[in-house]
Amino acid sequence: MSISVFLTDMLFSQGFGTRRICAGLVQQGLVKTYGDAGFQVCEQTDKPIEVYNGMPFMVQSELWQYHAKAYVLLHKPAGTECSHKPSAWPSVYSLLPTPLRQRPAKTGLQGVQAVGRLDQDTTGMLLLSDDGQFIHRMSSPKHHVPKVYELTTEDPLDEAVVAKLIKGVVLNDDPVPVKAAACNLTGSHHMQLTLTEGKYHQVKRMLAATGHKVIQLHRSRIGNLVLSDDLRPGQWRWLTADELAGLTRKQ
């Protein structure tokens, strides 16, 4: 494999456009990979691109890193929709760089996809990936991946509400009671709620079933991954190898 073909394939796999566009970037000398002497065009190689997972490279003087699969954590701000075609609010995907939104896929969808959805007024941790198996594992109730929510209600809460949520409440479209995996009060109007499944508007509907209206909702944790304070609303970052291993480890 020639170096130009190698770089073209690498750029295409990372979402930098069609193969023709990527080839043009290479031909113009706008792509460099990291060598022993710093950023330079690497030597010709016949190794598969995946061998270079984690390799830094530069496109038009902007630093990137090669990832065979994308695993991203986004701090979702309020007033955004988890949709590629939002109806009334900006899309969370607009917060991501273009290459993440253009990563090629075998299916009709391209780019990273949200692992489940958060309402437009809900903030907090949102995972995105182009790995279908990962998305399924994180989303499927069969795998019991805990998701922790911090919520604020309009009216005061008490231990009776906690007991109801732990025992299970019936939602208006499902006769089977839905239970919280864990629940505890953190203030007179505040609660931390842990779920292992994700139904439409589930947290709000569960609290509504106890006679309470949620006025603020924030997802603070998925599995053993906690949303840190240094990642501000609207910011994103790659998951580390250890974080990914922790998420995919059997609970």
Task: Give the number of other CB atoms < 10 A from CB of residue 160.
Answer: 9
Active site members: 119
